[in-house]
């Protein structure tokens, strides 16, 4: 999956090992409705879905926005900020963290689950020191006899250990994934794109040339049609003698309301993707700076929050950070208001002694 082709990691040189079920701490998905959906063939392929402009834009907004947000580490008790471990924002030393998280979030959003491969671990406590994203298409899941628990994973057909270097990190999503739940909508969008392409190649309805005289032999008909095609490629005006009549059959794009149909499908894609139609240009609206800021806040609250939590909660587990700390995305820059709103807030905070002038300057990047 994806243009990366997992170039960061080749096939791990791991010998098949036995699986210790008692040591495995990842149960099967809690919702019964997930059975047979997660890690199962999706309703539509990623390549097909990404050929739809509205799907591609939704993916890039959702994944690009989350991947661009910095991750911070905090003390659970005091709430104090802690300098985050390198592995949090730079999982793979060879690739930028933005690339890793953008593809990881896509996996979670599209298929309902994402995976990382542990590249290095600290010797003293076994915590993850480096990891990288691997495509879900490379991962196989082994279940117990009743299909109620995951007892192991395979990568490229090789059984991987449950912990340590070479093991997999699983990021569970909040549902079965976009490719599973929106297959019918995406396929409808694909068919409309194909229809638009056909009309772009042949922008007029289908034509029939009718002979008003004697029946023509097949060879003569073939030459007539070829001559007609060649003439239409060079000029728009046609001339027919009295023996030939042209008739149009079918409908043009306007009669089919193709623009309206594509707009409707784009709106349905926005609903399935959990993103406001404004971001996909699926509805006409008058957008100002003020309500654009509100839309970004709504994007976080009603669209991205479950995906943010999927990444945050997994990175906050003890195999990444100490148990008294947690990892959260920093949303301050993304949700910051316009300069006038910020100035008003800073003025109040400075007046009550909550922020100094130096802190305000630092917050606004005015200190060099």
Instruction: Walk along the chain (368 residues) in steps of 10 and give the mean pLDDT of each run.
Output: 48 46 42 43 80 91 94 91 93 94 95 94 91 94 88 92 92 90 86 74 63 76 79 70 65 57 83 83 56 76 91 94 93 70 76 82 68
| Structural tokens at position 168 | 């997999």
Pairing of strands 81-82, 71-75: antiparallel
| Confidence (pLDDT) at 317 | 94
| Structural tokens at position 276 | 């406001």
| Confidence (pLDDT) at 27 | 45
> Running DSSP on this structure, what letter comes out for residue 30?
S
| Confidence (pLDDT) at 360 | 76
| Confidence (pLDDT) at 333 | 73
| Structural tokens at position 157 | 């057909």
Report which secondary-structure segment, H or E, holds 48.
Answer: helix 46-50
The pTM (predicted TM-score) of the whole model is 0.70
| Confidence (pLDDT) at 102 | 96
Helices (H) and strands (E) in the chain, counts: 13, 11
């Amino acid at each position: 999956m994806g243009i990366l082709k997992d170039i960061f990691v080749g096939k791990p040189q791991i010998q098949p090992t036995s699986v210790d079920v008692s040591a495995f701490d990842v149960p099967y998905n809690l919702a019964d409705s997930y059975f047979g959906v997660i890690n199962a063939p999706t309703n539509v392929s990623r390549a097909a879905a990404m050929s739809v402009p509205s799907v591609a834009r939704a993916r890039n907004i959702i994944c690009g926005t989350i991947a661009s947000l910095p991750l911070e580490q905090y003390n659970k008790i005091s709430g104090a900020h802690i300098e985050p471990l390198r592995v949090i924002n730079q999982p793979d030393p060879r690739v930028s963290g933005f690339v890793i998280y953008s593809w990881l979030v896509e996996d979670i959003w599209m298929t309902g689950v994402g995976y990382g491969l542990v590249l290095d671990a600290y010797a003293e406590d076994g915590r993850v020191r480096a990891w990288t994203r691997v495509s879900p298409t490379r991962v196989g899941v082994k279940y117990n006899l009743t299909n109620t628990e995951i007892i192991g994973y395979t990568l490229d057909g090789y059984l991987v250990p449950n912990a340590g270097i070479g093991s997999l990190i699983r990021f569970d999503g909040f549902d079965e994934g976009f490719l599973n739940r929106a297959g019918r909508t995406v396929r409808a969008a694909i068919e409309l794109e194909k229809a638009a392409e056909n009309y772009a190649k042949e922008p007029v309805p289908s034509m029939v040339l009718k002979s008003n005289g004697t029946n023509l032999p097949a060879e003569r008909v073939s030459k007539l049609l070829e001559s007609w095609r060649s003439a239409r490629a060079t000029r728009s005006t046609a001339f027919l003698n009295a023996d030939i009549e042209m008739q149009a059959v079918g409908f043009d794009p306007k009669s089919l309301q193709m623009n309206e149909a594509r707009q409707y499908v784009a709106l349905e894609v926005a609903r399935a993707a959990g993103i406001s139609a404004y971001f996909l240009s699926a509805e006409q609206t008058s957008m100002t700076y003020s309500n654009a800021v509100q839309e970004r806040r709504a994007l976080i609250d009603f669209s991205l929050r479950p995906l943010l939590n999927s990444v945050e909660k997994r990175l906050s587990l003890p195999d990444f950070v100490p148990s008294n700390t947690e990892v959260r995305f920093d949303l301050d820059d993304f949700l910051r208001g316009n300069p006038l709103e910020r100035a008003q807030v800073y003025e109040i905070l400075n007046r009550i002694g909550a922020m100094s002038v130096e802190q305000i300057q630092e917050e606004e990047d005015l200190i060099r």
